[in-house]
């Protein structure tokens, strides 16, 4: 069966520090991968999605970037965090053919102080 992992689970970082959040998927090959952010406990904002290694589509211009160095690994990064980057970050995956059902990871809570 497929599983999706995210780490860390929680993170407190000072303004101006770098960020690296990791997401990995097991049990499937060549998945679509997604990064979402949820602020204030409501509404999911799509940040990035990827249909293959090295292929990243950005939905919202911002202080963040994403990379996909391996087929089942998706990384969200920032060089300098802003207060507004605080939120709940969710990674998701879907198969590339068929119904495109998305499955979400457990998320990372980021607080920027």
Binding residues for other proteins, per CB under 8 A? Answer: 32, 34, 38, 41-44, 46, 49, 51, 59, 88, 90, 92, 96, 99-104, 106-107, 109
Least distance to other proteins, CB of residue 72, Å: 16
Q: For residues 60 and 11, what is the distance between their CA atoms, to the nearest angstrom?
A: 22
Least distance to other proteins, CB of residue 85, Å: 17
What would the DSSP string read from start to end of 32-91?
A: EEEEEEEETTEEEEEEEEEEETTEEEESS-SS-EEEEEETTEEEEEESS--GGG-EEEEE
Give me the count of residues in the chain: 113
Nearest to other proteins of 14, 43 (CB atom): 43
Least distance to other proteins, CB of residue 74, Å: 13
Nearest to other proteins of 27, 106 (CB atom): 106
Nearest to other proteins of 17, 102 (CB atom): 102
């Amino acid at each position: 069966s497929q599983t999706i992992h995210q780490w860390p689970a929680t993170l407190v970082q000072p303004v101006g520090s770098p960020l690296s959040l990791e997401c990995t998927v097991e049990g499937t090959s060549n998945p679509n991968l997604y990064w979402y952010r949820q602020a204030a406990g409501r509404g999911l904002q799509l940040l990035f999605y990827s249909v293959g290694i090295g292929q990243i589509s950005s939905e919202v211009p911002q202080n963040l970037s994403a990379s996909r160095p391996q087929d089942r690994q998706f990384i969200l990064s920032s060089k300098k965090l802003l207060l507004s980057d605080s939120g709940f970050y969710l990674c998701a995956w879907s198969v590339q053919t068929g119904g495109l059902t998305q499955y979400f990871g457990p998320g990372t809570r980021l607080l920027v102080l």
